[in-house]
């Protein structure tokens, strides 16, 4: 089994001037090739914090993140940006689409950053991704012209643009109706089963979580396995 992501004994505190709030107190989990893993836990338990650390968007106070055998503690900031761009697709809890670009341009953005140019093949791939998330008729819409669920689906397509081995998704179906959620779930299954992508997603939807190979629950700053297939 090829390990894609390993999070070991992560600790994370936030300071608000006077007091210190410890959110993660030794959180560990792993994601292997082709696995679909769900992360559940109450609001405020630290799911987004952990996902941001896993995606090298934030750093921990202690512990280690290993991406494809490379330790985050040994990466420079430039290397972290490169690893993120090459290997990790990230779906933010709050989409973060660029308002002045269309859906298609938003999906293409990571590719533009990675290669500095866009080929016809890249554009065709971006169109295919938008079709896969059911937005073939919304490609030239700007984010302000899209519903919340549509913006979320553009963000999922964008995360997949550079063919990442690891997909980290923070409540990817949070704004979606059951039917559209099922389509996203089918897309995740296809990525895992056919392309060997490892998908780690945060969800409050227990029905979606139940379809995962493993469910991790975060509570009191630590992560434990609550179910495994």
Ligand X SMILES: Nc1ncnc2c1ncn2[C@@H]1O[C@H](COP(=O)(O)OP(=O)(O)OP(=O)(O)O)[C@@H](O)[C@H]1O
Q: Which residues bind Mg ion (CB under 5 A)?
A: 48, 93
159-177: b or e for each residue (b if 16 or more CB lie within 10 Å)?
A: bbbbebbbbbbbbbbbbbe
CB closer to Mg ion out of 23 and 72? 23
Q: Residue 109: which of 159, 145, 153, 148 has the closest Cα?
A: 159
Q: Which one of ligand X, Mg ion, none is in contact with 8 (Cβ closer than 5 to 8 A by kind)?
A: none
CB closer to Mg ion out of 48 and 173? 48
User: What is the H or E stretch that residue 22 is in?
Assistant: strand 20-32
Written as one string, the DSSP assignment of 42-84 is -TTSSHHHHHHHHTTSS--SEEEEEETTEEGGG--HHHHHHHH
Give 213's Cβ-side CA count (13 Å radius): 15
Minimum CB separation from ligand X for residue 41, in Å? 6
Minimum CB separation from Mg ion for residue 132, in Å? 25
Site string for ligand X, 38-77 (x = CB under 6 A): ---x-xxxxxxx----------------------------
Residue sitting closest to Mg ion (CB): 48
Q: Does 134 interact with ligand X (rule: CB under 6 A)?
A: no
Minimum CB separation from Mg ion for residue 91, in Å? 12
């Amino acid at each position: 089994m090829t390990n894609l992501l390993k999070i070991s004994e992560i600790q994370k505190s936030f300071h608000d001037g006077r007091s210190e709030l410890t959110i993660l107190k030794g959180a560990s989990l792993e994601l292997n090739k082709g696995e679909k893993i769900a992360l559940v836990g109450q609001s405020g338990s630290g799911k987004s914090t952990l996902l941001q650390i896993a995606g090298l968007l934030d750093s921990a106070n202690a512990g280690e993140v290993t991406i494809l055998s490379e330790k985050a503690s040994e990466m420079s900031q430039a290397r972290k940006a490169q690893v993120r761009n090459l290997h990790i697709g990230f779906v933010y809890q709050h989409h973060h689409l660029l308002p002045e670009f269309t859906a298609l341009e938003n999906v293409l953005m990571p590719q533009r950053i990675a290669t500095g140019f866009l080929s016809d093949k890249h554009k065709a791939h971006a169109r295919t991704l938008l079709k896969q998330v059911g937005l073939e008729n919304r490609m030239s819409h700007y984010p302000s012209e899209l519903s919340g669920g549509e913006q979320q689906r553009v963000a999922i397509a964008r995360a997949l643009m550079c063919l990442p081995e690891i997909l980290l998704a923070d409540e990817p179906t949070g704004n979606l109706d059951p039917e559209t959620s099922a389509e996203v779930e089918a897309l995740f299954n296809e990525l895992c089963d056919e392309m060997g992508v490892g998908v780690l997603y945060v969800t409050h939807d227990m029905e979606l979580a139940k379809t995962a190979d493993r469910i991790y629950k975060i509570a009191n700053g630590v992560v434990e396995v609550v179910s495994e297939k």
